[in-house]
Amino acid sequence: MEFNLSKEQSLIQQMAREFAEKSIAPVAKQIDEESKIPEEILAGMAELELFGIPFSEEYGGADGGYDGYVLVMEQIAKVSGGIAMTMAAHTLGLGAISAFGTEEQKKKYMVPGCKGKHIVSFAFTEPGTGSDPKQLSSTAKRDGDYYILNGTKRFISNANFPGAMVVFAKETETGEVTAFILDKLSPGYSISEPWEKIGMHGGQLLDVYMKDVKVPVENLLGKIGQGFPVLLLGIALGKIGTSTAALGGTLAAFEEAVKYAREKTHRGQPIAKFQAIQLKIADLAIKYETARWLCYRLGCLANNIKDPAAFAAEAALVKAYCGDNVVDAARIAVDVHGSYGLMRDYTIERVYRDAIIGPEIEGVADMQKMIVAGSILKK
Amino acid sequence: MNIVVAMKQIPDLQQIRIRNRKPVFDDVPMTLGAIDKNALEVGVSIKESQGGKVTVLSAGNEDLEDTIKEALAAGADEALLVIDDALAVAGSDVIAMVLAAAVKKMEAAELIIFGEGSGDNYSGQVGSRVAAILDWPQVGYASSLELNGNMLRAARSLEDGEEIVEVTLPAVVTVISGINEPRIPSVTQILKAGKKPKEVLEPEDLGLQIPAEAQVLSLSNLAPESERKQVVLKSVDELVQALKNENVIGR
């Protein structure tokens, strides 16, 4: 058993920390207030190859593995949940194309995605569906060399950026759920205003309207009726991102609490001297360390997935834990701050709002637990 | 142009804990000195504008083989390492002797760049000593460099101003931290660092014997204790007057 980072992994972590602290942290408040990621931040991320970390160099990636990806995500998420959310959804979409795409699809859609010229989306959810593919109402009707897509997708990350969108619809001839790669912003594709959500501002969720959007036949992702396996693996890979975004939030909560406990004085001494605060700091350390090793391990597992269902159960377990864990951690850290923790002048206020997103996105916590229980009890 | 950047492996200062008023070095990872990274950035920038290659040169214990990946990720083309356990505790004179011998072995180095001081001991001696051994001119405290052919123009940041000097290559330059902002390496630059050419020598390969015992022992590295005067002041005017009385301002 080996629990140390290699020199390369340490350097990747250090690189992400340095970029996050020097470039993102100074504008983190602005991103939160304006709900928009500055272009130069996205350009900086592209330059450091953060948009294609786990993917092969052949397709524009950095060949850094999902273990490299979690190390970076943690540091980015620590300073901006919104950027982490954008990166997570993008990497999830690319992950699905990487696993199921043809050679041509990978060259066409992964290269600009990995290079950060495009930001990728993954569109399953609809106004009438949560996690159940059977309820899907979007349709794909074959018409010569094209599929004609119609329907509405809800809460889709990055839908306002150009690039590929992995989209799920029922193929009308078979009635089977099928995945396609759609060029966003093509004719018939339109989007809503971004949803105004509680936290992770900058990571935008939009509704997508498809009105007779023409998708070439060669953009079928996998086979007709293979939508469920694409969804299963895609969502499982997505949970690496959302879990690690939660990990970054937990680290932020931990560090903010420690900093405040050392700086804030009561009756002439730092509040860190009081046992009540010390217990909270210990709880935060426990929460951070447990989430950290779960996420790092999940990243390592994702590098070599042999059984997608088994991996999906692992990812669900990590997501269930990290999602709830970050909310608990943020709450404890707010408690350390007392009333000041409620004020916008303090970073922990944003960390708390970002944290509450954790258990709800990429499948709610209870759904994750059902996947975990199913994987145990069905054996 | 063949540019050599000399860098020193030091413990990662941010990860050193203090116990009983002494630093604890157990399990502290090694890294390269902060100003050394400025020196590397200078070398890489010159290479990018003028062509040539950057060789990172370092002497230390076997951890160096891993640590040097930081420099190779940040733009150095190759590494020349002199490795011996004794070099980890050797004094500035021994290190300078080793580095100078290594430079002589290299093909026609024209410019050697150092950080002004190492991140741990900051003796600031090695650059000057290497210049003396090689009998090359040396420019210290460089805050900017401009290269025209084999003429190097440097601004030197001195206490009371800036001095502009010109020197003919080959030369040794030691730079200050303000000279630039070192770039952050990308993911693939980090991952490919270990695959760049690296030559590892032992002191014997350079015809040198390194004394096994440390020549310089650190007896204490605590900041000197200063007693606070604990003067209570009630206004800014009082503060100004107190500072004047202490000769801190208004001299």
Least confident of A115-119, A178-182, B156-160: B156-160
Query: Which of A7, A57, A73 best tests the B interface by mutation, with the highest count of B CBs <10 A?
Result: A7
What residues of B are in the A interface, CB distance below 8 Å? 29, 66-67, 69-70, 73, 184-188, 190-191, 193-194
User: B186 vs chain A: nearest CA distance in angstroms?
Assistant: 4
Q: Is the pLDDT of residue B136 over 70?
A: yes
- Asked if the Cβ–Cβ distance from B190 to A15 is below 8 Å, we say yes
Please give the backbone phi and psi of residue A172, each rounded to the nearest 5 degrees, phi first: -65, -30
The pLDDT value recorded for residue B217 is: 78
Total Cβ atoms within 10 A of residue A56: 14
Q: pLDDT tens digits for A20-79? A: 999 999 999 999 999 999 999 999 999 999 999 999 999 999 999 999 999 999 999 999
pLDDT, residue A379, reads 67
User: Does B186 contact A62 at a Cβ distance shorter than 8 Å?
Assistant: yes
Q: Beta-strand (E) ranges in chain A?
A: 121-123, 139-143, 146-157, 164-171, 176-183, 189-191, 205-216, 220-221, 265-266, 269-270
Residue in chain A closest to B30 (alpha carbons) equals A7
Contacts of B193 in chain A (CB under 8 A): 8, 11
Task: Inform me whether the pLDDT recorded for A131 exceeds 80.
Answer: no
Q: Can you give the pLDDT at residue A26?
A: 97
Of B69, B73, B191, the CB nearest to A63: B191
Which residue of B15, B28, B187, B192 is the best one to mutate when testing the A interface, meaning the one whose CB has the most A CBs within 10 A?
B187
What residues of chain A lie within 8 A of the CB of B29, using their CB?
Answer: 10
DSSP structural state of residue B63: T
pLDDT at A342 over 90: yes
Contact B69 A11 (CB under 8 A): yes
Give the distance from residue A15's alpha carbon to the nearest chain B alpha carbon, in angstroms.
6
- Segment B123-128 shows an average pLDDT of 92
A270 forms bridges with which residues in the sheet?
A: A265
Residue B158: phi, psi to the nearest 5?
A: -110, 170
User: Phi and psi of A279, rounded to 5°?
Assistant: -65, -40
DSSP string, A258-284: HHHHHH-EETTEEGGGSHHHHHHHHHH
Whole-number pLDDT of residue B228: 81
Does A6 have pLDDT greater than 80? yes
Q: Tell me the chain B residues in contact with residue A114 when contact means C-beta distances shorter than 8 Å.
A: none
Distance from CA of B103 to the nearest CA of A (A): 27
Q: Which of B31, B37, B66, B190 to mutate to test the interface with A (most CBs of A within 10 A)?
A: B190
Q: Which residues of A lie inside 8 Å of B (Cβ-Cβ)?
A: 7-8, 10-12, 15, 18-19, 22, 47-50, 53, 57, 62-64, 68, 72
Lowest mean pLDDT among A104-118, A155-169, B208-222, B230-244: B208-222
pLDDT per position as a tens digit, A261-317: 999 999 989 999 999 999 999 999 999 999 999 999 999 999 999 999 999 999 999
Q: What pLDDT is attached to residue A117?
A: 96
Mean pLDDT of the B151-178 span: 95
In tens, the pLDDT along B10-50 reads 999 888 888 888 888 888 999 999 999 999 999 999 999 99
| CB atoms A19 and B184 under 8 Å | yes
Nearest CA in chain A to B184: A15
Q: How far is B104 from chain A (nearest CA, A)?
A: 30
Tens digit of each residue's pLDDT (9 = 90 or more) over A66-92:
999 999 999 999 999 999 999 999 999
Phi, psi of B152 (to 5 degrees): -110, 125
Tokens, residue A353: 């709002």
Q: Which of A7, A47, A68 sits opposite B66 (nearest CB)?
A: A7
In the beta sheet, which residues pair with residue B200? B81
| A18, A22, A64 ranked by CB distance to B187: nearest | A64
Residue scoring higher pLDDT (B242 or B58): B58
Residue B120 is predicted with a pLDDT of: 85
pLDDT digits (tens, 9 = 90+) for A322-337: 999 999 999 999 999 9
Q: Which residues of A belong to the active site?
A: 362
Q: Tell me which of 2.60.40.420, 3.40.190.10, 1.20.140.10, 3.40.50.620 is the CATH number of domain B2-220.
A: 3.40.50.620
Mean local confidence (pLDDT), B196-210: 95
Measured distance CA(A335)–CA(B176) in Å, rounded: 44
Residue A236 above 70 pLDDT?
A: yes
With CB atoms and an 8 Å threshold, state whether A19 touches B66: no
On average, the pLDDT of chain A sits at 96
The residue ranking higher by pLDDT, B214 or B104, is B104
User: Residues 6 or more apart from B66 whose CB is under 8 A from it?
Assistant: A7, B30
**CB of B185 within 8 A of CB of B41?**
no
* B59 touches B81 (CB < 8 A): yes
Which residues in chain B have Cβ-Cβ distances shorter than 8 Å to A53? 187
Binning pLDDT at 50, 70 and 90, where does residue B251 land?
Answer: low
ipTM (interface predicted TM) = 0.92
A15/B185 Cβ within 8 A: yes
Chain B CB contacts of A50 under 8 Å are: 187
Q: What is the token pair recorded at B182?
A: 């070192």
Residue B122 pLDDT > 80: yes
Domain limits of chain B? 2-220
Q: Which domains does chain A have, with CATH numbers?
A: 7-114 (1.10.540.10), 121-227 (2.40.110.10), 228-377 (1.20.140.10)
Q: Which residues of B touch A22 (CB under 8 A)?
A: 184
pLDDT > 80? residue B214: no
